[in-house]
Homo-oligomer: A and B are copies of this chain.
């Protein structure tokens, strides 16, 4: 039994689809939208459309970007000999915040997770291998999360990369095992980058 006017019900349903938003929260958010002035509501709706339309993945590192190449890949001061492989864009941001790392990145957009039906072909592994073949690349840091799926993914990629004869490293366990990069403090992450160890 629907009680609110259909456009309001529909907005509540849309909010309910968002992760972590229950029915009560969805109602609260929808009423908030109604209480916004028209310009603010339009700005909100446009931000959704603009982000969805304008944001692409970088043709080099797969990071989210507006142009074809992301600002980091386009920056001539970054060191192209090192590629830091992360699970998703939030992890890249976490590492950037340490200001410790001056190389490039590669965003996998996921981890290998047989239980969730995510295989190597579902994440950006192939694109990484193409980059690993470039002459300028000397080291690849596998900065997936230090949990089971992150470790599995790192080990899998390390094996694929072996033939390239590169230095392959993993972030030092400066952060707690089972933790997530995204929520690490900057100091811990800095130490983890500094103490990174080679995978032999």
- A49 cross-chain contacts in B, Cβ below 8 A: 41-42, 45
* Complex-state Cα separation, A8 to B49, whole angstroms: 10
Which residue of chain B is the closest to A183 with respect to CB atoms? B24
Judged by DSSP, the binding face of A is helix
> CB distance A19 to B10 under 8 Å?
no
In the docked arrangement, what's the CA distance between A35 and B19, Å?
12
Kindly state whether residue A18 has any CB partner on chain B within 8 Å. yes
Q: Which of A29-45 contact B (CB under 8 A)?
A: 29-34, 36, 38, 40-45
A10 to B, closest residue via Cβ: B47
**Number of A residues with CB within 8 Å of any CB on chain B:** 52
CB-defined contacts of A18 to chain B, threshold 8 Å: 29, 32
> Contact at B45–A48, with CB atoms within 8 Å?
yes
In the bound complex, do residue A19 and residue B28 qualify as a contact, i.e. CB atoms below 8 Å apart? yes
Question: Are A11 and B66 in contact (CB-based, < 8 A)?
Answer: no
Q: Choose, from A51-59, A128-136, A145-153, the stretch at the interface.
A: A51-59
Nearest-neighbour CB distance to chain B for A181, whole angstroms, equals 14
Q: Are B64 and A34 in contact (CB under 8 A)?
A: yes
- B28–A20 CB distance below 8 A: yes
Q: Please report the C-alpha to C-alpha distance between residue A13 and residue B43 in the assembled complex, in whole angstroms.
A: 11
A163 CB within 8 Å of chain B:
no
Chain A 86-104: CB-based contact to B (< 8 A → 1; otherwise 0) = 0011100100110000000
Contact at A48–B44, with CB atoms within 8 Å?
A: yes
Verify if A14 is at the interface (C-beta below 8 Å from B).
yes
